[in-house]
Amino acid sequence: MGQETDSRPRLLIVDDDEAIRNQMKWAFAADYQLAFAWDAPSVLERLDAFEPAVVALDLGLPPDPRNAGEGLKLLREIRKRRPTTQVIVITGNPDKENALKAIDFGANDFYSKPVDLDELEVSVRRAAHIHTLEADLARARADRTTAMGRMIGQSRAMGQVFQIIRRVAPTEEPVLITGESGTGKELVARAIHQGSLRATGPFVPVNCGAIPESLFEGELFGHEAGAFTDAKRRQLGLIEQAQGGTLFLDEIGEMPLSLQPKLLRFLQSGTIQRLGGRGEIKVDARIVSATNCNLADMVATGRFREDLYYRVRVVEIAVPPLARRKDDVALLASHFMRQAESQSGRGHLSFAEGVLDALAQYAWPGNVRELENRIRSAVVMAEGDAITLKDLHLAGEDLRLPSLREAREAAERGHIEMALSAYNYNITHTARALDVSRPTLHALIHKLGITLP
């Protein structure tokens, strides 16, 4: 018979006094899995190996046990490495300033020696319960984080984009991707290609706004030798180069009106004719297009053919601006920071306190592209080990700070949504975890506009 898994919470006791460690062992051994440490190196080793739910941390540690500096430094490192681990600070120095610093650095509670073990036991039990809730919510949030191709997101808006991509990718239907510049429309097109039966074929991107009108037809459809003065040999066009794969027409609204009938004919017949050629050439390529323009308005003003519009827009995917993806900003910022660290050879960086909240409030007119560029620049230019708003070239006037009421509602909405997800949208269990009644939870869901599946 296999050994049963020990489900008791894990408690790491940190104190350089062996007598106190033994006293704590006697008090907690029955209800907790225990590990012990006495200085910073032993704490960090056990933090990774033992993965404690709660740490009881003495601030007075070697090499300077008479002061709280080593313990406070260690507290910050614990919270950085394991954000859901709860830390209860214990110290022989009852200095109020140390208590305030410890709470500010993320301590769950603060006790002065000698400690009343009954009071400490209540605090440890409460901290272990908080750890369980926060770990459940963190897992729920991680479960909602989706990666598709080079795109990542956990917001509802991006979840809808991913869902449409999964449905349309295996088909052969033309797709029109709409959205502001910098939102990642080409990444969506590549994800469609990668999820299709054409994934092993070529993906050929064409920037319709970057090709001069005089060269556009030859670039797209190719030409035969002698078709014009400089045509010394046959040249395959971009459509033919996409044989067996996907042709991505970026900024299709910039395509010259005179060439739109030829593209329409290819969509209808699957054939093209090179410049200077006489025969029809069969090409098997899927068309995915993108635009930051309103093609319907262009149709209304005669700048885009209506029949071509309906041909390329069999399925439309609207990519949301970053301003509508607030839940993704911290995720994307951290992702870009790690990428830039790796490429630049910088050591491990973090974001200074308040930076991620500030980034979520910025309007991001350049969308994800702007966020990535700012992060990459900050990683190179940052002088310390934490990226600040100054490093990101953002000032207070760039940020639209929410009112206190908006901030409270946003925090409340996010916490309730994570709790609902963690408990599989079971109202009874969620209400119990949040310590509210079922009617109160229903009222909050209605008030905050939370949508239930």
Domains of the chain, by residue range, sit at 10-143, 150-318, 322-398, 404-447
DSSP element (H, E) containing 420: helix 404-422
User: What is 150-318's CATH number, 3.40.50.300, 3.40.50.720, 3.90.420.10, 3.40.190.10?
Assistant: 3.40.50.300
Query: How far apart (Å, rounded) are the C-alpha atoms in residues 202 and 50?
Result: 48
**Could you tell me the fold of the domain covering 322-398?**
Helicase, Ruva Protein; domain 3 (1.10.8)
Same fold: 10-143 with 150-318: yes
User: What is 10-143's CATH number, 3.40.50.300, 3.40.50.2300, 3.40.640.10, 3.40.50.700?
Assistant: 3.40.50.2300
Residue 407: predicted pLDDT: 66
Beta strands in 15-144 (DSSP E): 33-37, 54-58, 86-91, 109-112
Residue 49: predicted pLDDT: 86
CB 356 within 8 A of CB 329: yes
Q: Is 276 left (phi over 0), alpha (psi -120 to 50) or beta?
A: left
Residue with tokens 């700012």: 374
- Chain centroid to CA 288: 25
Residue with tokens 């974001």: 351
Residue 286 tokens read as 């899927």
Q: Which residues contact residue 196 at a Cβ distance below 8 angstroms, ignoring those fewer than 6 apart?
A: 169, 170, 171, 246, 286
Residue 430 tokens read as 């969620």
Residue with tokens 């993108």: 290
Query: How far apart (Å, rounded) are the C-alpha atoms in residues 117 and 377?
Result: 51
Residue 142: predicted pLDDT: 57
Residue 2: predicted pLDDT: 44
Max Cα-Cα span within the chain: 96
CA proximity to 360, closest of 391, 394, 390, 383: 394
Residue 143: predicted pLDDT: 54
pTM of the model: 0.61
CA proximity to 153, closest of 288, 317, 361, 320: 320
- Give the CATH architecture of domain 404-447: Orthogonal Bundle (1.10)
CB 272 within 8 A of CB 280: yes
Residue 214 tokens read as 């005089």
Show pLDDT as tens, one digit a residue, over the chain (453 residues).
Answer: 444 577 889 999 998 888 888 988 998 999 999 999 988 888 888 888 889 999 999 888 888 777 878 888 888 888 888 888 899 988 877 667 777 778 777 787 888 888 888 888 888 988 888 888 777 766 655 555 566 778 888 888 898 899 899 999 999 999 999 999 999 999 999 999 999 999 999 999 999 989 988 888 888 998 777 556 676 677 888 999 999 999 999 999 999 999 999 999 999 999 998 887 778 899 999 999 999 999 999 999 999 999 999 999 999 999 999 988 988 998 899 889 988 988 887 777 888 888 888 898 888 999 999 999 999 999 998 888 889 888 998 865 555 555 667 667 777 887 888 788 777 788 888 888 888 888 888 888 888 878 776
Residue 113: predicted pLDDT: 82
Q: Order the strands of the 33-37 sheet from edge to edge.
A: 33-37, 10-14, 54-58, 86-91, 109-112
**SS3 of residue 351 by DSSP:** strand
